[in-house]
């Protein structure tokens, strides 16, 4: 995999860390003129040469995208990269930054490893979300993190019927329902006490938020068949939120069909145990604290 043309995407325009990251890329690019760097017009003020500023339309035909920001930036970049299946290198200038492996201070070392071929790729499952009215498809979307089904009216609960593999699974009565990929399992799903799923697992999890029954728990299902979701009662409209960004208002009589997407998101990794490291370092999985022993004295 040769990276001869690299795009830079970022949304935190005024971040001092973003400016530092762009400066580090610029310094590295001056030493490697064989690689072309381009960035969107929104970064024009911050981009030092030889980084070129281009229109958004010209950012798509590249060999690699460097996404600088937090997990929200990574999700937006994944959506942008779909059209050409472009791999993504995440540089974390957010808070947790679970999807962005590289830190700003390590950026130039990471770029050195890339041109030496010392990296791996992590392919992430995505889900196709399709909405049908009868047999007619009226809307479709692809998600990397999750689909969030909630009431269109604040404070109202949702009542949903769920089929899996064309068999009735259950009926949910809850504040809302999350359908999360392994990538999304460490996002909203984790905050809702859902399980963490290893990134390469071909599965998704249904996590009801504040269900009316204490026996209802998150459920992990293999992503090998369709999951269908319908209104279980009338009177409350439903809002579908995709990766915390775009949304669709589900109309009465419409149904949601969820399945494994043919599209995937590819992340560049320079650490062999990036996910394990993230669990330990970013979620604080440090084990039981060691107690300092003091010599016994009277």
Q: Which helix (H) or strand (E) holds 28?
A: helix 16-31
Tokens of 70: 């937090």
Other Cβ atoms closer than 10 A to 56: 12
Pair type for strands 227-231 and 158-164? antiparallel
CA–CA gap between residue 84 and residue 205 (Å, rounded)? 28
Tokens of 26: 């610029």
Three-state DSSP at 65 gives strand
DSSP string, 175-205: SEEEEE-TTGGGTHHHHTTPPP--TT--EEE
Which residue, 223, 26, 259, is CA-closest to 128? 259
| Residues recognised as catalytic | 71
Which residue, 129, 146, 242, is CA-closest to 187? 146
Q: Which helix (H) or strand (E) holds 136?
A: strand 136-143
Q: In the chain, count of helices (H) and strands (E)?
A: 5, 18
CA–CA gap between residue 204 and residue 209 (Å, rounded)? 16
Which residue, 90, 91, 139, is CA-closest to 254? 139
Three-state DSSP at 139 gives strand
Q: Is the Cα dihedral 109, 112, 114, 117 positive or negative?
A: negative
In the chain, how long is the greatest CA-to-CA distance?
82
């Amino acid at each position: 995999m040769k990276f001869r043309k690299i795009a830079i995407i970022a949304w935190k325009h005024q971040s001092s860390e973003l400016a530092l990251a762009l400066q580090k890329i610029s310094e590295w690019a001056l030493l490697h003129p064989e690689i072309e760097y381009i960035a969107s017009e929104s970064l024009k003020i911050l981009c030092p040469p030889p980084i070129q500023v281009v229109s958004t339309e010209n950012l798509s035909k590249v060999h690699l995208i460097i996404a600088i920001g937090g997990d929200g930036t990574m999700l937006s970049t994944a959506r942008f990269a779909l059209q050409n299946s472009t791999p993504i290198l995440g540089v974390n200038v957010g808070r947790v930054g679970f999807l962005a492996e590289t830190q700003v201070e390590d950026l130039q070392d990471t770029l050195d490893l890339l041109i030496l071929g010392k990296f791996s790729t992590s392919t992430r499952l995505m889900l196709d979300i399709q909405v049908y009215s009868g047999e007619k498809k009226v809307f479709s979307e692809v998600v990397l993190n999750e689909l969030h089904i909630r009431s269109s009216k604040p404070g109202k609960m949702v009542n949903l019927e769920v089929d899996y593999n064309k068999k009735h699974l259950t009926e949910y009565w809850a504040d809302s329902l999350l359908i999360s990929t392994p990538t999304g399992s460490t996002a909203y799903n984790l905050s809702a006490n859902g399980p963490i799923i290893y990134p390469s697992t071909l599965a998704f999890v249904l996590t009801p938020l504040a269900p009316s029954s204490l026996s209802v728990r998150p459920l992990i299902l293999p992503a090998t068949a369709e999951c269908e979701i319908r209104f279980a009662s009338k009177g409350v409209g439903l809002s579908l939120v995709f990766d915390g960004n775009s949304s669709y208002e589900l109309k009465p009589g419409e149904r949601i069909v969820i399945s494994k997407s043919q599209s995937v998101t590819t992340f560049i990794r320079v650490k062999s145990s990036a996910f394990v490291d993230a669990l330990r370092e970013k979620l604080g999985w440090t084990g039981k604290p060691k107690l300092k022993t003091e010599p016994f004295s009277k």
